[in-house]
């Protein structure tokens, strides 16, 4: 494959304005089309071979829990398939690593072109499979397109001549070479964007991968794999397995796995890091782990803030996609002088949110991902009340047909309380009253996480102080703490939030390459 493109400057994919009638009609048509495909069976793929196993599992619609979205082979029933997949990836690596960076990037650009043409169909799959609203699904698809475009350009940049200090009589060259076979284990909450970004970043850098999506969101991953085949990605470059944690464990511990790229919970991420650190028979390298593991993100509102702007940002960050974002605002830390006024505004905006089916264009909040999340969230809400919190709105759920939880605001939460410290990953906002800005920063930093945070203030001195003292990987001033854009907001956190690998940033591809220096006397 030869690239003939003249690269323009990277620009983020625009979000769809569904208030435009033709855009809404296009989305409705996509939903009808995708609904007609629900219940289809998708094979695993190893080295270009498609396989269907006798042991299967199903992906369900969280908002209509009896509706089957896709049927998949359960690889856990035959873990020898993990070895086959990794061997296939290892075999493909020997040729793929020799493909020029420009040609590898061209596959990404072609995938971006096709995804852009079918944007609403990809979004519609996520509406059914993970209960994303129209806007949330559209944002997910746009981010996937951004990753394809951005990482393709980044590989071209890293393949250019690298500056070195001149030495007389020597020809010195530094180049970045791929690592080998990678295990890609993405989450369900951004099941297209993060899954695609993790996969293609490794691939465009010259690696081959084994992809195992979350068992809550395998259908959108299968659709993406079909796209890679459509553009002619060589067999074995991306191998596709479906199964539970046992499949992922086998991928992580295999001696021919060179690196693991993971996004998910802190507990699983720490376990992967521990297992990757162990050297197995036949292993010739120290495995590299790229991990993004969540957060307990806070928005601070000072006594001089624009409260209307702050309230809008808080509600959007707390309850967008049902709070199921690692960047979601789960803690509101507010100066006591404006506490009551701000909380009243937050509750009022929360009351205006429409809870319903994600297939309906005016829905703001839909179902959480599964029964376990539903039960765990209600237990956290109960715990919050038991520890002295006051439920101002929400606090209840209904799992009759789907896993719906009312957006919940809990006031009078004390620093150190369970719901102030532990990641809930649901539409629950804990409100903590601070004495002043010093106290607010102290509370904000007093968790084991450090992913995102935000400060609303009209005092530039306070914002500058937050810039230096608020210990998070992504800090936002006078805007919400969600909505990172590829290229503009490289994403990743500190402490137990992960390895701060900065997805969507200029350094991200370095996670999947190593530098080789060749010096020749001339």
Which residues belong to the active site? 292, 326
Contacts of 4 by beta carbon, 8 Å cutoff, 6+ apart:
none
Q: Give exposure, 314-345, as e/b (b: 16+ Cβ within 10 Å).
A: bbbbbbbbbbbbbbbbbbbbbbeebbeebbeb
Cα 71 to Cα 56, 243, 513: the distances in Å are 7, 11, 35
**Are 323 and 427 spatial neighbours (Cβ–Cβ below 8 Å)?**
yes
Cα 436 to Cα 23, 336, 415: the distances in Å are 46, 7, 14
Give the chain's end-to-end CA distance (angstroms, integer): 35
The span from the CA of 44 to the CA of 463, in Å, is 50
The span from the CA of 200 to the CA of 187, in Å, is 15
The span from the CA of 28 to the CA of 21, in Å, is 10
Contacts of 389 by beta carbon, 8 Å cutoff, 6+ apart:
410, 411, 412, 413, 417, 419, 430
Cα 21 to Cα 17, 24, 491: the distances in Å are 9, 5, 34
Cα 92 to Cα 59, 207, 241, 492: the distances in Å are 30, 9, 17, 30
The span from the CA of 100 to the CA of 257, in Å, is 23
Distance from the Cα of residue 344 to its chain's centroid: 32
Supply 375's token pair: 């039960």
**Are 481 and 331 spatial neighbours (Cβ–Cβ below 8 Å)?**
no
User: Residue 461 class from Cβ within 10 Å (0-12 exposed, 13-18 middle, 19+ buried)?
Assistant: exposed
Nearest to 146 by CA among 105, 112, 189: 112
3-state secondary structure of 209: strand
Nearest to 254 by CA among 344, 182, 168: 182
Contacts of 32 by beta carbon, 8 Å cutoff, 6+ apart:
none
The span from the CA of 80 to the CA of 84, in Å, is 6
The span from the CA of 152 to the CA of 141, in Å, is 17
Supply 260's token pair: 């693991």
Nearest to 332 by CA among 302, 352, 356: 302
The span from the CA of 482 to the CA of 320, in Å, is 9
């Amino acid at each position: 494959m030869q690239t003939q493109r003249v690269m323009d400057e990277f620009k983020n994919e625009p979000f769809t304005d569904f208030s435009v009638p033709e855009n809404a009609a296009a989305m409705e048509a996509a939903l009808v089309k995708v609904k007609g495909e629900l219940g289809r069976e998708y094979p695993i793929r190893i080295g270009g071979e498609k396989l269907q196993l006798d042991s299967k599992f199903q992906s369900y619609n969280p908002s209509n829990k009896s509706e089957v979205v896709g049927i998949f082979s359960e690889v856990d029933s035959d873990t020898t398939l993990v070895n086959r997949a990794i061997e296939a990836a290892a075999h493909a690596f020997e040729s793929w690593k020799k493909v020029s960076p420009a040609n590898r990037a061209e596959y990404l650009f072609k995938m971006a072109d096709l995804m852009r043409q079918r944007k609403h169909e990809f979004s519609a799959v996520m509406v059914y499979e993970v209960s994303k609203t129209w806007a949330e699904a559209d944002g997910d698809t746009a981010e996937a397109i951004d990753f394809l475009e951005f990482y393709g350009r980044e590989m071209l940049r890293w393949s250019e001549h690298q500056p070195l200090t001149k030495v007389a009589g020597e020809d010195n060259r530094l180049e970045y070479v791929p690592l080998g076979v990678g295990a890609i284990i993405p989450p369900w909450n951004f099941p297209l964007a993060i899954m695609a970004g993790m996969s293609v970043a490794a691939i465009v850098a010259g690696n081959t991968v084994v992809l195992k999506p979350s068992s809550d969101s395998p259908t959108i991953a299968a659709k993406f794999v079909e796209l890679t085949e459509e553009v002619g990605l060589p067999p074995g470059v991306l191998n596709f397995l479906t199964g539970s944690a046992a499949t992922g464990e086998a991928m992580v511990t295999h001696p021919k796995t060179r690196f693991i790229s993971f996004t998910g919970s802190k507990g699983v991420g720490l376990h992967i890091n521990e297992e990757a650190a162990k050297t197995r028979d036949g292993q010739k390298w120290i495995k590299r782990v790229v991990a993004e593991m969540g957060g307990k993100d806070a928005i601070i509102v000072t006594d001089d803030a624009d409260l209307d702007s702050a309230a809008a940002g808080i509600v959007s960050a707390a309850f967008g996609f049902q709070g199921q974002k690692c960047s979601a605002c789960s803690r509101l830390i507010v100066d006591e002088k404006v506490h009551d006024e701000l909380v009243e505004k937050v509750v009022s905006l929360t009351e205006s949110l429409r809870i319903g089916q994600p297939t309906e264009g005016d829905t703001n909040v839909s179902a959480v991902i599964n029964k376990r999340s539903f039960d765990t969230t209600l237990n956290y809400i109960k715990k919050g009340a038991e520890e002295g919190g006051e439920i101002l709105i929400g606090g209840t759920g209904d799992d009759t047909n789907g896993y719906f939880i009312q957006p919940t605001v809990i006031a009078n939460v004390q620093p150190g309380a369970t719901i102030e410290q532990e990641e809930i990953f649901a539409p629950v906002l804990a409100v903590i009253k601070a004495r002043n800005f010093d106290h607010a920063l102290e509370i904000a930093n007093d968790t084991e996480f450090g992913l995102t945070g935000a400060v609303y203030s009209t005092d530039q001195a306070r914002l500058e102080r937050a810039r230096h003292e608020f210990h998070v990987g992504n800090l936002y001033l006078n805007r919400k703490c969600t909505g990172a854009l590829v290229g503009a907001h490289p994403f990743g956190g500190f402490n137990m939030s992960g390895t701060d690998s900065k997805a969507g940033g200029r350094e991200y591809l370095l996670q999947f390459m190593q530098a080789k220096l060749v010096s020749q006397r001339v």
